[in-house]
Chain A
């Protein structure tokens, strides 16, 4: 294979001959918003204006190097999906959002031919209306610390030379030529890198368990079965920077002595599947994957397997069963996969984000890596920030960042039920998806890391972070998550199979107005039992959303069971009986028939019902002559 230095030098030389570079986001979100049409429109407009444009920079052969006015790239997800389609122009550093194909001509005439900025296409802060020129200025980006995502949305995922020019595969080469397997495991243990898939287990320690196993065949598996609803960092990395995952797998393979790997991706992510497949082929063509890696005697090959739609396959033993062509059901541990994993061989399973961070740790060195984040959770973490928040998207911040900084600064504030920014409308942040819990106002200043979240009954999980405003019913939210886990329970162990069903039925009773105070006690008891006795992580964490909301929003549950009232009016069965003030004549009839004295009002003035007292007997409805009550 050619030397990495040579590839980098050639790329930089070819790149220096391009006047401008346009990056159009081609992640799933932006494509859905029509970014490929924008890409074509820009390309045509540039050609029409008489400029020379290329969409694939051939850099490896210096003889092919030539001058281009514009070099266009379709990148992976840039994280700011809500503002998509995103178009960035370099070297000016301009970023345009919500770009439409009709804007192409103007962009070319003003920002490519000349160096003018088109004000109306810039990102405007929804709260202040201030326009920001580019990534270097927009608060959504400036307040982040993009490490694993740094090149995601910048490099062309289909151009390996660009990845190498950005320093890619140098760490893998070091791993193969400079370090022993033992040294590598030690470096990763010292770096404190913890698995980003949910468990937070030390990556170096996990590798070392597999390394010490005496077996000629070992596997490295990349877990890209990102099933948590509301999390999409793995999708973004696989789409936007697939080579970083391959490099991470190469290093892991060297550290444990594996010669074969699998990338397991959800079939719901077709673009991620095709990008990683293509990247693997390219890496093979460049001699980075295959035999005699970096001139050594090591071999490593990667297969891609598409999942078939089972959330439980995110659990490592279930994932292995699925690769083996079986029903994806978990197995008891021990034996751990590091001892007896895929096809009975020692196997290391790391999640996509962890693997993308692996080369970075080696580039920076263990000591430098530890400088960011908290003592026990070093480094950065990506979160998928969604829900009732002004800026939704994918963000990366150091561990130890607070919810306040994430939601109010990066997120730009909470959206109330009318879609306006109003931070008083903040109710909760659900973190960790169906395995996680809720953080409330009292946790706004809690530094987020693996341990702090665990201590309050939530978890980092895969990093889904859903902001909820005060129009969200927490009981309904708990029911929603329980519906999900109940449906995804594989049925192997009784506590999860039956327990989640019982819990779901109780939650349905509560949201249907059939719950009692006893239901709440029983629900908490069942939750504890499922948590303690389930076989795998799915069952162990399934009760978390329920237990966490019971803990922090007890009064809301009580309103549902005692007053039969849903404070946010989300649960239809518990939406209160109300008097339409426009129809009410103030005849006082209803007030007199109400058995619990819930109706108040003066004669000839509109009456009101106190929903906390109302027992929904319906007496008022039948009494009212003006049909004002419903």
Chain B
């Protein structure tokens, strides 16, 4: 975790982002989005720093950061899996895929990131690709009409690639 910690302390990027959005309080959401893009989550130190820079209370910023589901206060895994559980996906069997992935990665609805920080698995409400239901997004690649075996095969493939890299 030390690399994340040092990254959180190099605020140059944050300064750049703040300047890009005119240090305006009304731009809090795009600022947090840009910061999260950079760090993959919102480190506490960075949040405090932004609050001070914008002249708002840390509570105000924390309120916004916790309101929107896109923001994460916890670090996320290297690979992000998002399973759509919108209505169309739900009636077409997303639950079975969700159960299979959770079992495989030893995750639950509450614990969404694996201990080795390799995977984060989230469910999302609708990705708007209902024609392909059920839909799984792995690292921004969209897979349609996914069956549990397919989802596990995708994880196997990533595992194999990671082993190859190691």
Interface residues of A (CB under 8 A from B): 28-29, 31-33, 80-82, 84, 226-232, 235, 266-269, 305-311, 322-329, 343, 384, 386-388, 392-394, 430, 433, 464, 466, 468, 472, 477, 480-481, 484, 488, 490
Closest Cβ of chain B to A352, distance in Å, is: 12
Give 12 new A-B contacts, CB below 8 A, not counting A28-B128, A227-B125, A393-B131: A31-B142, A229-B89, A230-B87, A268-B127, A308-B29, A308-B33, A384-B130, A386-B131, A386-B133, A392-B130, A466-B87, A480-B87
Which listed residue, B63, B87, B129, B143, touches A464 by the CB 8 Å rule?
B87
Instruction: Known contacts A267-B33, A388-B91, A480-B87; decide if A32 and B130 are in contact (CB<8 Å).
Output: no
What 5 A-B pairs have minimum CB-CB distances, sorted nearest first? A81-B131, A229-B86, A32-B142, A308-B68, A386-B88
Chain A residues positioned under 8 Å from B28 (CB to CB): 325-326
Which listed residue, A268, A311, A430, touches B128 by the CB 8 Å rule?
A268
A327 B92 Cβ-Cβ under 8 A? no
Supply 19 A–B pairs (Cβ within 8 Å), ascending by A.
A32-B135, A84-B131, A229-B86, A229-B126, A230-B87, A232-B128, A232-B130, A268-B127, A305-B29, A322-B29, A323-B26, A328-B67, A386-B131, A387-B88, A387-B92, A388-B91, A393-B131, A430-B87, A468-B91
Which listed residue, B63, B89, B144, touches A327 by the CB 8 Å rule?
B63
Closest Cβ of chain A to B127, distance in Å, is: 6
Count the A-B residue pairs with Cβ separation under 8 angstroms: how many? 137
B132 A81 Cβ-Cβ under 8 A? yes
Chain B residues positioned under 8 Å from A267 (CB to CB): 33, 70
Closest Cβ of chain A to B164, distance in Å, is: 24
Chain B residues positioned under 8 Å from A82 (CB to CB): 131-132
Which listed residue, B33, B67, B88, touches A392 by the CB 8 Å rule?
B88
A309 B70 Cβ-Cβ under 8 A? yes
Chain B residues positioned under 8 Å from A235 (CB to CB): 128
> With the chains together, A268 CA to B87 CA distance in Å?
16
A325 B91 Cβ-Cβ under 8 A? no
A268 B131 Cβ-Cβ under 8 A? no
* B12: Cβ under 8 A from any A Cβ: no
Chain B residues positioned under 8 Å from A468 (CB to CB): 91
Instruction: Known contacts A32-B144, A325-B26, A328-B68; decide if A392 and B128 are in contact (CB<8 Å).
Output: no
B133 A392 Cβ-Cβ under 8 A? yes
Q: Write the chain A residue with the least CB distance to B135.
A: A32
> With the chains together, A231 CA to B129 CA distance in Å?
9
B68 A386 Cβ-Cβ under 8 A? no
B69 A309 Cβ-Cβ under 8 A? yes
Chain B residues positioned under 8 Å from A308 (CB to CB): 29, 32-33, 68-71
* B55: Cβ under 8 A from any A Cβ: no
A433 B33 Cβ-Cβ under 8 A? no
Q: Write the chain A residue with the least CB distance to B85.
A: A229
Mark B25-51 against chain A: 1 for CB-CB distance below 8 A, else 0: 111111011000000000000000000
Chain B residues positioned under 8 Å from A480 (CB to CB): 87, 90
Q: Write the chain B residue with the least CB distance to A328.
A: B67
A230 B92 Cβ-Cβ under 8 A? no
A325 B129 Cβ-Cβ under 8 A? no
> With the chains together, A269 CA to B130 CA distance in Å?
13
Mark B86-101 against chain A: 1 for CB-CB distance below 8 A, else 0: 1111111000000000
Which B residues between 93 and 135 are near A, CB-CB below 8 angstroms? 124-133, 135
> With the chains together, A480 CA to B94 CA distance in Å?
12
- B30, B32, B71 pick with most chain A CB within 10 angstroms: B30
Closest Cβ of chain A to B101, distance in Å, is: 18
> With the chains together, A232 CA to B142 CA distance in Å?
16
B87 A32 Cβ-Cβ under 8 A? no
> With the chains together, A311 CA to B69 CA distance in Å?
10
Chain A residues positioned under 8 Å from B153 (CB to CB): none
B128 A226 Cβ-Cβ under 8 A? yes
B68 A309 Cβ-Cβ under 8 A? yes
Which listed residue, B27, B69, B92, B144, touches A325 by the CB 8 Å rule?
B27
Which listed residue, B63, B69, B124, B144, touches A29 by the CB 8 Å rule?
B144
Chain B residues positioned under 8 Å from A326 (CB to CB): 28, 64
Chain A residues positioned under 8 Å from B68 (CB to CB): 307-310, 328
A231 B132 Cβ-Cβ under 8 A? no
A325 B25 Cβ-Cβ under 8 A? yes
Closest Cβ of chain A to B59, distance in Å, is: 11
> With the chains together, A384 CA to B63 CA distance in Å?
34
A386 B130 Cβ-Cβ under 8 A? yes
Chain B residues positioned under 8 Å from A227 (CB to CB): 125-126
B126 A268 Cβ-Cβ under 8 A? yes
Closest Cβ of chain A to B129, distance in Å, is: 5
Chain B residues positioned under 8 Å from A490 (CB to CB): 67
Chain B residues positioned under 8 Å from A226 (CB to CB): 128
> With the chains together, A278 CA to B62 CA distance in Å?
32
Closest Cβ of chain A to B6, distance in Å, is: 27
Chain B residues positioned under 8 Å from A323 (CB to CB): 26
> With the chains together, A229 CA to B88 CA distance in Å?
7
A32 B71 Cβ-Cβ under 8 A? no
Chain A residues positioned under 8 Å from B132 (CB to CB): 29, 32-33, 81-82
B25 A231 Cβ-Cβ under 8 A? no
B143 A229 Cβ-Cβ under 8 A? no
- B63, B64, B125, B130 pick with most chain A CB within 10 angstroms: B130
Q: Write the chain A residue with the least CB distance to B54.
A: A325
> With the chains together, A82 CA to B89 CA distance in Å?
13
Which listed residue, B24, B30, B69, touches A306 by the CB 8 Å rule?
B30
Closest Cβ of chain A to B105, distance in Å, is: 22
Chain A residues positioned under 8 Å from B91 (CB to CB): 387-388, 466, 468, 472, 477
Q: Write the chain A residue with the least CB distance to B133.
A: A386
Closest Cβ of chain B to A574, distance in Å, is: 16
B128 A433 Cβ-Cβ under 8 A? no
Chain A residues positioned under 8 Å from B85 (CB to CB): 229
Chain B residues positioned under 8 Å from A32 (CB to CB): 129, 132, 135, 142-144
Q: Write the chain B residue with the least CB distance to A81.
A: B131
Q: Write the chain A residue with the least CB distance to B90.
A: A480
Closest Cβ of chain B to A446, distance in Å, is: 21
> With the chains together, A484 CA to B118 CA distance in Å?
28
Chain B residues positioned under 8 Å from A28 (CB to CB): 127-129, 142
Chain B residues positioned under 8 Å from A232 (CB to CB): 126, 128-131
B88 A324 Cβ-Cβ under 8 A? no
> With the chains together, A623 CA to B135 CA distance in Å?
45
Chain A residues positioned under 8 Å from B32 (CB to CB): 308
> With the chains together, A130 CA to B99 CA distance in Å?
39
Q: Write the chain B residue with the least CB distance to A391.
A: B131
Q: Write the chain B residue with the least CB distance to A387.
A: B91
> With the chains together, A268 CA to B69 CA distance in Å?
11
